[in-house]
Copies of this chain bind each other. A is one copy, B any other.
Amino acid sequence: MKILLTVLFFSLSAFAQDAMLLSSNVQGAQYPQMTPDRRVTFRLRAADATKVQVRVELPKSVTLDMTKGDNGYWLVTTAPLPPGFWYYSVIVDGFTTLDPASKTYFGYGRECSGIEISGPDSIAAAALDVPHGTLRDVWYYSPSTKVWRRAKVYTPPGYEKQNNARFPVLYLQHGAGENETSWSNQGRETFIMDNLYSVRPEVRQMIIVNDNGIVPARNPAPATGGGRGSGRAMADNLFAEFGEILTTELIPYIDKNFRTIPDRDHRAFAGLSMGGAQAFRLGLAHLDTFAYLGAFSAAIGNLDLAKDYDGKLADPTTSQRLKLLWMGVGKQDSLHDGLLGVHQSLEKAGVKHVWVESEGGHVWGEWRGYLSQFASLLFQDTPAPKKR
């Protein structure tokens, strides 16, 4: 009992006045801590290390040296941080890795640490006292790649209650280095939608499906090395191979196993960054499948409307067929100027679209906001199922 009390006292004394734990901490972790003015203190134990740093992926990445304290602990406190979700890494004597005190989020092609900094954006994405939908892991077989694949499926609060009602579907994709877990984990997609339905009942309840847009090279596979090879092979993977999975395997699975409205007028496709490039290319290639397209900070550059996407954007029937072509990007995003150029080309050519410029960068805080905005515009001509 004496030892226990000592530990307790140390623990108490280590806390700054009014410090808060973060919701992104693992259960029981005493760090990271945040002050009311949003300064974050990181702590880790590396008794024999000579250099320890924390790198926080703010709109501009920041690397801070940690200072060695007692008992092998290293500490550092940031300047006040902007609200939002920020990936971070710790770097111990040249080893870039995770902070064991943080929940993990798949990003940058590996599991990452993250800090959720409360602010106006986070409230929209918090688990509030409203009706909640559910998130499912579903497994479906992919004949084209001969593996079982996992997708994440969010069904809205009304789905279980109204068990004869059918729902439209948004297919929503992550960015490069992320996967099918990213929209629910770091994107907080389920809470954003739950809160949106609660505050704005006119928003149409929809199913949201997240899949992995980077088709793995047979996984687990003989380790013959090499990865995906050339840029050409990478493009085939992101567009041709994923396009085949999406349109011939995933969508039929979802339409078979969920109460969807299985036609183009009740299907949207959107994605962020790399997923935005997929939304443009695959969406325009499959106008029979999707009537709504969304590109969040899309990784596309200047377009030649006459040539790119088989000239689909220059074809006036495209504008007639698409119920919504939505583009958003932050002013601090390095992709901003290229996307502004795309917007201007579309405007000049008379291609109907929605253009949103937000204040931030290439970060999850922006994409959370875009989801609310984009989803609010979807399926508005489809009557909601009657409440029972």
Name the B residues within 8 Å of A106 (CB-CB).
26
Partner of A101, one of B21, B50, B110, B227: B110
Name the B residues within 8 Å of A135 (CB-CB).
136-137
A81 → B minimal CB distance (Å): 16
A261 → B minimal CB distance (Å): 18
CB closest chain-B residue, reference A8: B226
Does A163 lie at the interface of the complex (its beta carbon under 8 Å from any beta carbon of B)?
Answer: yes
Does A3 lie at the interface of the complex (its beta carbon under 8 Å from any beta carbon of B)?
Answer: no
Does A45 lie at the interface of the complex (its beta carbon under 8 Å from any beta carbon of B)?
Answer: yes
Name the B residues within 8 Å of A11 (CB-CB).
225-227
Q: A134-B137, A221-B21 are in contact. Are A95 and B94 (CB under 8 A)?
A: no
Contact at B220–A22, with CB atoms within 8 Å? Answer: yes
Kindly report how many copies of this chain are found in the complex they form together.
2
A319 → B minimal CB distance (Å): 37
Contact at A45–B163, with CB atoms within 8 Å? Answer: no
Stretch in A12-20, A202-210, A379-387 with 4+ CB within 8 Å of B: A12-20
Does A61 lie at the interface of the complex (its beta carbon under 8 Å from any beta carbon of B)?
Answer: no
CB closest chain-B residue, reference A164: B163
User: Which residues of A, 188-236, contact B by the 8 Å Cβ criterion?
Assistant: 190, 212, 214, 216, 219-227, 229-230
Q: A97-B97, A101-B110, A190-B137 are in contact. Are A48 and B45 (CB under 8 A)?
A: no
Does A260 lie at the interface of the complex (its beta carbon under 8 Å from any beta carbon of B)?
Answer: no
Name the B residues within 8 Å of A49 (CB-CB).
49, 92-95
How many chain A residues touch B (Cβ–Cβ < 8 Å)? 82
A27 → B minimal CB distance (Å): 6
Partner of A132, one of B90, B127, B134, B139: B139
Name the B residues within 8 Å of A27 (CB-CB).
109, 179, 212, 214, 216, 219
Does A4 lie at the interface of the complex (its beta carbon under 8 Å from any beta carbon of B)?
Answer: yes
Q: How far is the CA of A370 from the CA of B13 in the complex (A)?
A: 44
Does A297 lie at the interface of the complex (its beta carbon under 8 Å from any beta carbon of B)?
Answer: no
Does A341 lie at the interface of the complex (its beta carbon under 8 Å from any beta carbon of B)?
Answer: no
Name the B residues within 8 Å of A153 (CB-CB).
134
Q: How far is the CA of A87 from the CA of B349 in the complex (A)?
A: 57
Contact at A100–B98, with CB atoms within 8 Å? Answer: yes
Partner of A48, one of B44, B94, B132, B222: B94
- Of the A-B pairs whose beta carbons lie under 8 Å apart in the complex, a sample of 22, sorted by A's number, is A14-B225, A15-B225, A21-B220, A22-B220, A23-B219, A27-B109, A29-B110, A30-B225, A33-B223, A44-B95, A45-B94, A45-B96, A46-B92, A48-B51, A52-B95, A92-B92, A96-B100, A97-B99, A129-B141, A134-B136, A135-B136, A160-B257
- Give the B-binding residues of A (Cβ under 8 A): 1, 4, 8, 11-15, 18-23, 25-30, 33, 44-52, 72, 90, 92-104, 106, 109-111, 127, 129, 132, 134-141, 148, 153, 160, 163, 179, 184, 190, 212, 214, 216, 219-227, 229-230, 257
